[in-house]
């Protein structure tokens, strides 16, 4: 039983929202990701969904988190959207069960005469005249409500879920697992719909799982072995592994751990002895993680999200052959909280994909998670809706999503390159805009006797002034101060950059040669006489835009002739100058070496 549709009208920031929960062609639920700015109504949407689930649990069981007759979500006209006179919501399941709520800003008997209109919804006329609200649920029937919880997981993870870290208190680190005490009483579910800190319950359930597997599911096979001097045949039972429901759930748990921890090799669960009943993870028969409390907060949160899903399905009476058989509804608010970027983009989508028959409704602020989900499931395999209107979007529709991820990759790429260069050689680093700059500067050093200076530094291709900017932005002043070596970002004369310093990172611009024939790029340093010579011998190198006259406000102005290096001939020009240029032809590069000495030399 899954959500089929939700409608919300005039609640908080939501004007008119309708979401039909998506399915695959095979009928499995697609993950629904809800995005939007703070205050766009993401949590309001979830509150109506969770309220419908709790309404069913109140009818089906006596151990609901919210007592029967009381509410989880406030029902009040205070939440009517500003300027509106009523609010409405309807949550419908795929078997036709539904929950509806109306809130009016006046009594029903006065509404139409006071506001001169009436909503067109069918249930409008069922609101009593002496009331200003109505709450109706077809899940009030116990059998109908139990259909929602029987043999399927049903969970909500609010944004305030957390686990205490291992370092918080030594008692936590030593806390032991205990066998679960389930109440075998009619109308007790022994399950929590709202999960805030489920590690203890999960740890105890794992101990139950290990006990059942070791006690009830040992498989044997009988073989005949010769015994005694007469070699008489004796039938002996030999251990043949484990078989049964607990074993299949155990394998699902191991699959979850492998995905979350990105573990290679053979892993299994272990339990301490009766004096120290901790749950551990064994890898290749060595104690890998002695205690689940020793995992990072992010890893514990991930494991608990999906371990709780397996556990709740098990407690619901569901049976499975593998993890993909688990079905149900899981609602997660701000799934990316406390998670590293690699977990958001890579691990989380893999984990969600492991449960193809669970209906995930997830809110997020993470562009990386959204991009990772679309990459994992494909554009048609996941539904992304933007609040407050519930408009279906694609990850690529959010320019900030793609831009943020690309900026992240570029920034970390350059940081990695810088760090690797420093690791290999502690010499200062000179970043220039391109490969041709490196060739010109190295040849100029040879011609002008600056080779020892160039041997004392590293020169690297920054792949354009835009990427030099990324290096500059990726280091805060405090971080740049801690760098083991100085870094010089050297821009060409035409970039209009301003010299600046940040810790050990220095930004400088090559001064322009005013009388040069070429105004743009490193080629500005090539003397005018060399350019004129090349115009005769290799005219394909130089593009010329003839000078003209133009009239501005009645005054004629002369526009001088403009020369530039043909973009397809830059490499050939560089080859010619480096092969044929004299020391005098490279004289203008002296200013480059002066900049390098001033910026990267000892202070």
For the stretch 200-220, pLDDT in tens is 888 889 989 999 999 999 988
Dihedrals phi, psi of 582, to nearest 5 degrees: -95, 175
Q: Are residues 414 and 393 in the same domain?
A: no
User: Among 380, 397, 414, where does a domain finish?
Assistant: 397
Note whether 383 and 413 are same-domain residues.
Answer: no
> Is the same domain home to 309 and 436?
no
Q: Residue 390 pLDDT > 60, yes or no?
A: yes
* Residue carrying the six token digits 């004369």: 493
The whole domain housing 501 covers 404-600
pLDDT in the model for residue 328: 95
The answer on 336 and 480 residing in a single domain is no
Residue ending a domain, choose from 368, 397, 426? 397
Cα separation, 306 vs 256, in Å, equals 7
Q: pLDDT, tens digit, for every residue of 533-543? A: 988 899 888 88
Q: How far is CA 27 from CA 23, 94, 357, 382, in A?
A: 5, 11, 9, 14
**Domains of the chain: total:** 2
pLDDT band at 484 (very low <50, low <70, confident <90, very high): low
pLDDT digits (tens, 9 = 90+) for 490-512: 988 888 888 888 877 888 999 98
DSSP 386-437: ETTTTEEE-GGG-HHHHHHHHHHHHHHHHHHHHHHHHHH--S-EEEES-HHH
Statement to judge: residues 340 and 411 lie in one domain? no
| Lowest-pLDDT choice from 77-86, 224-233, 492-501 | 224-233
Same domain? For 364 and 422 the reply is no
Lowest mean pLDDT among 310-319, 390-399, 425-434, 452-461: 390-399
Residue 347 DSSP label: I
Question: CA-to-CA distance for 373 and 368, rounded, in angstroms?
Answer: 9
pLDDT, one tens digit per residue, over 325-373 is 999 999 999 998 878 777 888 899 999 999 999 999 999 988 888 888 9
Pairing of strands 505-509, 500-502: antiparallel
Lowest mean pLDDT among 9-13, 48-52, 385-389, 517-521: 517-521
Nearest C-alpha neighbor of 3 from the set 87, 134, 97, 73: 97
Whether 537 and 580 have beta carbons less than 8 Å apart is answered as: no
Q: What is the mean pLDDT of residues 87-92?
A: 95
State residue 398's pLDDT score. Answer: 54
Burial class (CB in 10 A: 0-12, 13-18, 19+), 534: buried
| Structural domain ending residue among the three candidates 397, 428, 462 | 397
What CATH number is associated with residue 171?
3.40.50
Question: What's the mean per-residue pLDDT of the chain?
Answer: 84
For the chain, percent of residues with pLDDT exceeding 70: 86
The CA angle 68-162-405, to the nearest 5 degrees, is: 120
* Of the candidate ranges 66-75, 96-105, 223-232, 434-443, the one whose mean pLDDT is the lowest: 66-75
pLDDT of residue 61: 81
Residue 277 or residue 169, greater confidence: 277
Q: How many Å separate Cα 336 from the centre of its chain?
A: 6
440 close to 589: Cβ distance less than 8 angstroms: yes
Distance, in Å, from the CA atom of 449 to the CA atom of 443, rounded to the nearest integer, reads: 10
pLDDT of residue 408: 57
pLDDT of residue 414: 56
pLDDT at 79: 86
Of the listed ranges 199-208, 292-301, 395-404, 435-444, the one predicted with least confidence: 395-404
Q: Is the dihedral of CA 449, 450, 452, 454 positive or negative?
A: negative
pLDDT at 247: 93
Same domain, 388 and 461: no
Least confident of 228-232, 482-486, 494-498: 482-486
The enclosing H or E element of 214 equals helix 199-216
170-187 confidence digits (pLDDT tens): 455 445 556 565 655 566
Out of 164-178, 465-479, 502-516, pick the least confident: 164-178
Of 188-192, 244-248, 269-273, 478-482, where does the model show the most confidence? 244-248
**Tokens (6 digits) for 35:** 């995005």
| Residue 584: C-alpha distances to residues 197, 402, 526, 528 (Å) | 75, 49, 10, 12
**Which DSSP symbol is given to 168?**
G
The Cα-based distances of 557 to 493, 563, 579 in angstroms read 26, 19, 41
Q: Is 41 helix (H, G, I), strand (E, B) or coil?
A: coil
Q: What's the CA gap between 86 and 81, in Å, rounded?
A: 8
Classify residue 310 as exposed, middle or buried by CB count within 10 Å of its CB (0-12, 13-18, 19+): buried
- Average pLDDT, integer, range 14-25: 93
**Are residues 445 and 359 part of one domain?**
no
Lowest mean pLDDT among 236-245, 290-299, 497-506: 290-299
123 with 185, same domain: the answer is yes
CA distance 176 to 30: 38
**Is the pLDDT at 14 greater than 50, yes or no?**
yes
Name which residue leads in pLDDT, 551 or 500: 500
Q: Looking at per-residue confidence, does 501 or 395 come out higher?
A: 501
Alpha carbons 492 and 516: distance in angstroms, whole number? 14
Are 374 and 422 within one domain? no
Higher-pLDDT residue of 2, 238: 2
Q: 475 and 520: one domain?
A: yes
The phi, psi pair for 36, rounded to 5°, reads: 150, 160
Which has more pLDDT, 415 or 564?
564
Q: How far apart are CA 492 and CA 433, in angstroms?
A: 7
Q: Which of 172-176, 283-287, 324-328, 514-518 has the highest mean pLDDT?
A: 324-328
Q: Does residue 113 carry a pLDDT above 60?
A: yes
Residues 96 and 9 placed together within one structural domain of the fold: yes
């Amino acid at each position: 039983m899954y959500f089929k549709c939700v409608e919300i009208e005039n609640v908080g920031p939501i004007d008119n929202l309708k979401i039909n929960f998506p399915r695959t062609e095979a009928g499995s639920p697609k993950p629904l990701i809800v995005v939007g700015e703070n205050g766009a109504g993401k949590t309001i949407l979830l509150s109506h969904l969770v309220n419908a689930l709790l309404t069913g649990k109140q009818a089906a069981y006596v151990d609901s988190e919210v007592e029967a007759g009381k509410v989880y979500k406030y029902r009040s006209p205070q939440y009517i959207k500003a300027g509106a006179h009523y609010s409405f919501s309807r949550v419908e399941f795929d078997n036709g069960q539904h929950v509806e709520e109306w809130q009016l800003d006046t009594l029903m008997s006065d509404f139409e005469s006071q506001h001169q209109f009436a909503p067109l919804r069918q249930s409008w006329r069922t609101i009593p005249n002496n009331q200003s609200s109505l709450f109706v649920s077809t899940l009030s029937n116990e059998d109908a409500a139990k259909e929602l919880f029987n043999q399927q997981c049903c969970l909500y993870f609010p944004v305030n879920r957390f686990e205490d870290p291992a370092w918080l208190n030594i008692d936590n680190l030593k806390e032991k697992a205990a066998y679960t005490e389930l109440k075998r009483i009619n109308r007790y579910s022994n399950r929590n719909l709202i999960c805030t800190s489920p590690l203890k319950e999960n740890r105890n359930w794992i101990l139950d799982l290990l006990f059942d597997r070791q006690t009830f599911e040992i498989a044997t096979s009988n073989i005949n072995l010769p015994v005694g001097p007469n070699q008489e045949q004796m039938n002996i039972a030999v251990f043949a592994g484990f078989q049964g429901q607990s074993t299949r759930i155990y394998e699902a748990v191991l699959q979850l751990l492998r995905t979350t921890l990105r573990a290679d090799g053979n892993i299994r669960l272990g339990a301490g002895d009766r004096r120290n009943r901790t749950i551990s993870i064994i890898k290749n028969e060595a104690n890998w993680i002695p205690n689940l409390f020793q995992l990072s907060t992010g890893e514990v949160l991930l494991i608990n999200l999906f371990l709780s899903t397996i556990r709740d399905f098990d407690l619901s009476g569901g049976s499975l052959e593998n993890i993909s058989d688990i079905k149900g509804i899981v609602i997660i608010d701000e799934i990316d909280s406390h998670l590293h970027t690699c977990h958001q983009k890579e691990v989380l989508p893999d984990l969600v994909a492991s449960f193809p028959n669970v209906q995930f409704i997830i809110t997020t602020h993470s562009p990386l998670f959204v991009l990772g989900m679309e990459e994992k499931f494909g554009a048609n395999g996941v539904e992304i809706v933007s609040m407050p209107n519930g408009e279906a979007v694609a990850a690529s529709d959010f320019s900030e999503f793609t831009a943020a991820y690309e900026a992240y990759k570029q920034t970390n790429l350059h940081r990695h390159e810088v760090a690797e260069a420093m690791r290999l050689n502690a010499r200062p680093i000179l970043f220039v805009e391109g490969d041709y700059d490196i060739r010109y500067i190295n040849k100029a050093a040879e011609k002008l006797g600056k080779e020892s200076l160039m041997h004392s530094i590293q020169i690297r291709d920054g792949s354009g002034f835009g990427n030099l900017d990324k290096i500059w932005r990726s280091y805060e002043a405090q971080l740049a101060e801690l760098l083991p070596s100085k870094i010089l970002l050297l821009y060409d004369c035409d970039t209009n950059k301003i010299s600046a310093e940040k810790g050990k990172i220095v930004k400088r611009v090559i001064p322009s040669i005013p009388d040069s024939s070429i105004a743009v790029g490193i080629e500005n340093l090539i003397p005018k006489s060399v350019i004129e010579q090349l115009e005769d011998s290799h005219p394909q190198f130089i593009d010329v835009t003839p000078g003209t006259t133009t009239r501005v406000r009645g005054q004629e102005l002369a526009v001088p002739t403009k020369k530039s290096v043909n973009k397809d001939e830059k490499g050939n020009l560089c080859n010619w100058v480096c092969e044929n240029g004299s020391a005098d032809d490279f004289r203008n590069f002296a200013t480059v070496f002066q900049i390098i000495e001033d910026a990267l030399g000892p202070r």
